[in-house]
Amino acid sequence: MTSINRTLYPEVISENVDFILSHFQDPIFPRKIMTKQLGYQKEVFSKQEVLNYFESSDYEDCRINAYPSFTNYHGINRVAPSFVMIDLDLRDFDNSKDKLDRGLNKVLRKISVATRGYPTVLWTGNGYHIYQPMDGFVLEEEDRFARLREPNEKNLTSKFMQFAEEFLANKKGDPQHNPTVSSCLVRVPGTLNSKCAREVEIVQR
């Protein structure tokens, strides 16, 4: 695996947590995180809690949910789409880094044209994660969108996130990646992806 000097981990990870949190809308906390050691999403109430859990997991598989813990009121969604995540996996490009890089460039061009966005891109060791913050509004509060909600559907924010990933990724995203407001887990640069024993790196801020 690639390596940051272990003595610098706390300082580097603290800065990178701030960087990732800067992509999210308020309220920043409470919010859920996940690590390899935890094995489930844990609600935290401060950045220091985040850092403590990350350190306890030896910085393996450290992720933060892009959406806050409280997203609905009386069962009605109250969180706007504010973050889109696209997952490009090397295996979906014939395990060719050249093909993957071409796919990434196509996605970045489409994001630029469609949204004028300039997303953060991370190399996870076996693919790219693309993180695009955005300004949104609660879709359920607009009749023309509320009508699109299926009877058993929890929220339109998750539906929009999945549509946006498919559209912006030209249907080349990881087919197993179906983000929702409760499962949009974002990796933190400098932490370790245990699946491939690689450090997560920033490609574009």
pLDDT for residue 49: 98
pLDDT (0 to 100) of residue 127: 97
Give the CA-trace dihedral at 91, 93, 95, 96, to 10 degrees: -160
Which residues does 49 contact at the CB level (< 8 Å), separation at least 6?
none
pLDDT at residue number 78: 86
Based on the fold, state whether residues 31 and 60 are members of the same structural domain. yes
| Number of domain units in the chain | 2
Q: Which domain holds residue 13?
A: 6-75+183-200
Q: Give the pLDDT of residue 175.
A: 76
Question: What are the CA-CA distances from residue 184 to residues 9, 19, 20, 67, 95 (Å)?
Answer: 25, 17, 13, 7, 25
More confident residue, 88 or 146: 88
Task: Report if residue 174 sits inside a domain.
Answer: no
Is residue 21, in this structure, part of any structural domain at all? yes
Residue 205 lies in a domain: no
- In this structure, the answer to whether residues 135 and 190 fall within a common structural domain is no
Q: Are residues 163 and 101 in the same domain?
A: yes
51 and 101 both lie in a single domain:
no
pLDDT band at 2 (very low <50, low <70, confident <90, very high): very low
Residue 139 DSSP symbol: G
Residues 156 and 103 in one domain: yes
Q: Are residues 68 and 84 in the same domain?
A: no
Residues 58 and 28 in one domain: yes
Calculate mean pLDDT across residues 152-167.
89
pLDDT of residue 3: 52
